[in-house]
Chain A
Amino acid sequence: MYGLIAAEAAIFTIFVVAYLFYVGKSLVGPLPNEVLHAPVFLTICLLSSSLTIHRAVAALRRARMRTFELWWAFTIALGAVFLGGTAREWHHLIYDQGLTIRTNLFGTSYYSLVGLHAFHVTVGLLGLLTVLLLGLGGRVGQEHTERLDVLSLYWHFVDAVWIVVFTVVYVIGR
């Protein structure tokens, strides 16, 4: 998993470099400072999901299944809120502001970087959901702690990437 994370980190690095390189290079609007608003609430949701997944795995380690399932479901809910928020933001950008991936360089690099991250959140959510369904079916037990540790490592990575993306897109890029 660390190997995969290293590879993923390299991929994100390239997209981040491209985003930073193209900041302020767009020839036509809309520009980031006109249309972007920092999604603070969504960021809090996503980052706190790291805490909840940690609590979930810790509960599983002590074989407290009910607590595990609750924290796990809460993690999924937080992730889903984040994804829904991104969808709303994109809808607003596309239909109200007229910014699409072809509009300008900002659009191209913004949708690629945030989209790549959202794709990783989606993959993570599918993984989490699978575990939840298996857990509700009684197929997840204490012996799976190690495997879920790996999944939670991935989820932490996705959260950490969001910190970088947030800084680059909503702080530096504006």
Chain B
Amino acid sequence: MTTASIPWMQSDVARRPLVERLHDWVTTVDHKRLGILYVVYALVLLVVAGIEAAIMRIQLMAPHNDFVSPQVFNRMFTMHGTTMIFFVAMPLVFGFANYLVPLMIGARDMAFPRLNAFSFWLTAFGGVLLHFSFLGGSGLYGAGTAPDVGWFAYAPLTAKTFSPGHSTDYWTLALLVSGFGSIGTAINILTTILCLRCPGMTLGRMPLFAWLSLTMAGLVILAVSPLSAAQMMLLVDRYLGGHFFDTQAGGSAVIWMHFFWVFGHPEVYVLVIPAFAVVSEIIPVFSRKPIFGYPVMVAATVCIGFISMSVWAHHMFTVGMSPAANGFFVLSTMAIAVPTGIKIFNWLATMWGGTIQFRTPMLFCTGFLFQFLIGGLTGVMLACAPFDWQLGGSYFLVAHFHYVIVGAILFALFGGFYYWFPKVSGRMCSETLGKLHFWLFLIGFHLTFDCMHVPGILGMPRRIYTYEPGRGWDAWNLWVTIGVVFQGLGTLVFVGNLVWSYFEGDRAGSDPWDAWTLEWSTESPPPVYNFAALPVVRSRRPLWDLKHPEDPDWKYEQ
């Protein structure tokens, strides 16, 4: 394997004017720069959507609170959900995949660099369009500003009668536009992985990150397209006077639910599979052992991908479906816990007997394992239709999916930030600040989302803007809000750490973690062309082979 590249230093080149450098960023088609753009964009909106969440929590801190009006509260939970899923989580996973996949499989760029840039800007303008509704949503009618129909926008709330003005149009157009962006990027990732692997990089030798990104891209293609189709129908209803979701004319509100959740449930796996991908790279490196059961991990992932297409209606138990449909979706939902369980045991087996180094990335991954397990277990509870009838519309459900999305996905991605920051910036993150971030966020997370389960069990419905005192919910809600303060502080430390480390951190060198995948064979940050000569790979851990020529992996792998 050859990794020679021409030494290139920032200081060799005279700094160019700011306008020119900005112009470079706007017109870039380089997968690394687009990856960074995705991630930075997502971080900005993470803060925006986080503030929206904080507003809701302040409102619910005490009974009969009047911090915001009911209308504003509805807008807040709609915007929080929509932004977090479509304009924070999706860009984050696309950003990671964009930056890392070509480096990991030994390619110089994505298969379609210009499509890549186009997709990013579609996603970016989708987010702008959604948030522009705060200004332009009332349109000519003087009604409402931001969309307030919930993130899954059930019919008939979205009909002209119930959503006058343009706020819902902003919602649907933003999702349509960013959906096309997502499909473009997914096609790009798929093609890159299938067509641009370097010599020797067979599918069986690909890093798990690439395998999981491949599955994620396939899911995006099959899941986001139905959402786009449903948005087109909603537009037909709203603009051309169609009757798809108009129950007055014989249309069906339930079919919108089906169309939405046909997208909505695979979407969960679109987000969590990249989190698995990050964890599958970090845990082996910090346990100093190769991943346990590589082929089984790949099989379990692909299996999750397939099953996730057939579980959507478990979001609709409370709607009232036939016993046959209920039975099918209960069983398929429980079945998906099996490959997921296999993955958890494989990560544990990777750590078992390893020399574990609890650096910041590993801390976050350990938190991920624990929290994902609990989020998964409450998921199995909610998969039982009778249990779901009881708690489906309550805060228990809200606590469950935040356990998965924050406790698992966000924790894993935080770990990914600390792990790959040295590669992207050439500087190490501060360990002290990183650990402070971890503990603050861990405490805040558990305060908020552990406590949130209880009022749910006590009967507190979701989406209410206030509640009566004396139902046993008061103290729990206060604790939930206190947890938000810790999470906010943790996020501040995180952003501070990134900024400080970018300017003041120690130089990282090309391979600070003594890792084994190809991205660590390039300099930090990698040159524009990634690899001066394409590497040749003979095993799953090409860098191990390079560092240990006396005992290379390819002697043992089939």
Q: Are A25 and B232 in contact (CB under 8 A)?
A: no
Q: Are A102 and B242 in contact (CB under 8 A)?
A: yes
Contacts of A105 in B (CB 8 A): 243-244, 249-251
Decide yes or no whether B187 CB sits under 8 A from chain A.
Answer: yes
Decide yes or no whether B230 CB sits under 8 A from chain A.
Answer: yes
A4 and B187 contact, Cβ closer than 8 Å, known pairs A11-B228, A11-B229: yes
Decide yes or no whether A8 CB sits under 8 A from chain B.
Answer: yes
A6 and B242 contact, Cβ closer than 8 Å, known pairs A14-B226, A26-B250: no
Q: Are A7 and B242 in contact (CB under 8 A)?
A: no
Q: Contact partner of B230 among A3, A14, A109, CB < 8 A?
A: A14
Q: Of B233-241, B397-405, B540-548, which binds chain A?
A: B233-241
Q: Are A6 and B244 in contact (CB under 8 A)?
A: no
Q: Are B225 and A112 in contact (CB under 8 A)?
A: no
Q: Are A108 and B226 in contact (CB under 8 A)?
A: no
Decide yes or no whether A18 CB sits under 8 A from chain B.
Answer: yes
Decide yes or no whether A22 CB sits under 8 A from chain B.
Answer: yes
Residue in chain A with minimal CB distance to B222: A10
Contacts of A21 in B (CB 8 A): 252, 255
Q: Are B233 and A112 in contact (CB under 8 A)?
A: yes
Measured CA separation A35–B244 after assembly (Å): 20
A10 and B225 contact, Cβ closer than 8 Å, known pairs A3-B186, A18-B255, A101-B242: yes
A109 and B244 contact, Cβ closer than 8 Å, known pairs A3-B186, A21-B255, A104-B249: yes
What are 27 contact pairs spanning A and B, CB under 8 A? A3-B191, A3-B221, A4-B183, A6-B222, A7-B183, A7-B186, A7-B221, A8-B225, A10-B226, A10-B229, A11-B225, A11-B228, A11-B229, A14-B230, A14-B262, A15-B233, A18-B244, A21-B252, A22-B252, A25-B250, A101-B236, A104-B250, A108-B244, A108-B251, A112-B232, A112-B233, A112-B236
Q: Are B183 and A15 in contact (CB under 8 A)?
A: no
Decide yes or no whether B154 CB sits under 8 A from chain A.
Answer: no
Measured CA separation A101–B243 after assembly (Å): 8
Q: Are B255 and A7 in contact (CB under 8 A)?
A: no
A123 CB, nearest partner CB in chain B, Å: 14
Decide yes or no whether A27 CB sits under 8 A from chain B.
Answer: yes
B529 CB, nearest partner CB in chain A, Å: 25
Which residues of B does A touch, CB under 8 Å? 183, 186-187, 190-191, 217, 221-222, 224-226, 228-230, 232-233, 236-237, 240-244, 249-252, 255, 259, 262
A101 and B221 contact, Cβ closer than 8 Å, known pairs A15-B229, A27-B250: no
Contacts of A11 in B (CB 8 A): 225-226, 228-229, 232
Contacts of B233 in A (CB 8 A): 15, 18, 112
A31 CB, nearest partner CB in chain B, Å: 12
Contacts of B186 in A (CB 8 A): 3, 7
Residue in chain B with minimal CB distance to A16: B229
Q: Which of A8, A10, A102 is the most central at the interface, judged by chain B CB atoms within 10 Å of its CB? A: A10
Measured CA separation A10–B228 after assembly (Å): 10
Q: Which of A4, A13, A108 is the most central at the interface, judged by chain B CB atoms within 10 Å of its CB? A: A108
A13 and B243 contact, Cβ closer than 8 Å, known pairs A6-B221, A18-B233, A22-B251: no
Measured CA separation A159–B117 after assembly (Å): 31
Q: Which of B244, B252, B259 is the most central at the interface, judged by chain A CB atoms within 10 Å of its CB? A: B244
Contacts of B225 in A (CB 8 A): 7-8, 10-11, 14
Q: A7-B225, A8-B225 given; name 13 further pairs at CB < 8 Å.
A: A3-B221, A4-B183, A7-B183, A7-B221, A14-B225, A14-B226, A14-B230, A18-B244, A18-B255, A27-B249, A101-B241, A105-B244, A108-B237
A112 and B252 contact, Cβ closer than 8 Å, known pairs A3-B221, A11-B226: no
Q: Are B250 and A112 in contact (CB under 8 A)?
A: no
Measured CA separation A109–B232 after assembly (Å): 12
Contacts of A7 in B (CB 8 A): 183, 186-187, 221-222, 224-225
A108 and B187 contact, Cβ closer than 8 Å, known pairs A6-B221, A10-B225, A11-B225: no
Contacts of B191 in A (CB 8 A): 3
Q: Are B187 and A3 in contact (CB under 8 A)?
A: yes
Measured CA separation A164–B239 after assembly (Å): 27
A3 and B250 contact, Cβ closer than 8 Å, known pairs A101-B241, A108-B242: no
A14 and B259 contact, Cβ closer than 8 Å, known pairs A3-B221, A4-B187, A27-B250: yes
Q: Are B190 and A3 in contact (CB under 8 A)?
A: yes
Contacts of A116 in B (CB 8 A): 232
Contacts of B243 in A (CB 8 A): 102, 104-105, 108
Contacts of A3 in B (CB 8 A): 186-187, 190-191, 217, 221
Residue in chain B with minimal CB distance to A108: B242
Measured CA separation A14–B240 after assembly (Å): 19
A106 CB, nearest partner CB in chain B, Å: 9
Contacts of B250 in A (CB 8 A): 22, 25-27, 104-105
Contacts of A15 in B (CB 8 A): 229, 233
Contacts of B259 in A (CB 8 A): 14, 18
Q: Are B190 and A108 in contact (CB under 8 A)?
A: no
Contacts of B262 in A (CB 8 A): 14
Measured CA separation A112–B226 after assembly (Å): 15
Contacts of A10 in B (CB 8 A): 221-222, 225-226, 229
B316 CB, nearest partner CB in chain A, Å: 15
Scan A1-41; emit 1 where CB is below 8 A from any B CB, else 0: 00110111011111100100110011100000000000000
Measured CA separation A109–B233 after assembly (Å): 9
Q: Are B222 and A102 in contact (CB under 8 A)?
A: no
Measured CA separation A144–B190 after assembly (Å): 24
Q: Which of B217, B224, B240 is the most central at the interface, judged by chain A CB atoms within 10 Å of its CB? A: B240
Measured CA separation A4–B190 after assembly (Å): 11
Residue in chain B with minimal CB distance to A13: B226
Contacts of B252 in A (CB 8 A): 21-22, 25
Measured CA separation A22–B255 after assembly (Å): 10
Scan A150-161; emit 1 where CB is below 8 A from any B CB, else 0: 000000000000
